[in-house]
Amino acid sequence: MPGGTLGRMAPRRCPCGTGLTYDECCGPLHAGTRAAATAEQLMRSRYSAFVVGDPAYLLATWHSRTRPPSLELDPDVRWLGLDVIAADGGGLLAAEGTVEFSATRIADGQRGAQHEVSRFLREDGAWRYLDAL
């Protein structure tokens, strides 16, 4: 069962940086009990999935057009924080949107940041990650 380690690894505060607890924020999205209302919410929950180690969630929220057949998370990368820089579209009534963010990480002992503009589309009514611009 994917996500079985989630409870053990769940931090008190949600890793995506909203200031909410994990159970109030990305936790229910990972558990499948709530859907992302906006593209930004989905983006945040996907970042949190990297932090808690939930590749199944990342695959499930990937658009079918671009979804890889499988995904392995690099155990040597540790994610430290997320800054959402801008969101364009992606609202409650939108069908597409982009979210620009910067995620801080340590990989091979080096601290760095991943800066990306992600594109999101609705698929069957649900927000999905399409690709990075």
Residues near Zn ion (CB under 5 A): 14, 16, 25-26, 44, 48
Please identify, using beta-carbon distances, which residue of 95 and 105 lies nearer to Zn ion.
105
Rank residues 48 and 61 by Cβ distance to Zn ion and give the closer one: 48
Percent helix, strand, coil in the chain, to 5, is 20, 35, 40
In the complex with Zn ion, the residue whose CB is nearer, 48 or 98, is 48
Instruction: Report the 3 state secondary structure along 17-71.
Output: CCCCECCCCCHHHHHCCCCCCCHHHHHHHHHHHHHHCCHHHHHHCECCCCCCCCC
Enter the tokens of residue 35: 């859907």
Minimum distance from CB of 92 to Zn ion (Å)? 18
Find out whether 97 and 20 touch, Cβ atoms under 8 Å.
no
Closest approach, Cβ 27 to Zn ion, in A, equals 8
CB-wise, 65 or 78, nearer to Zn ion? 78
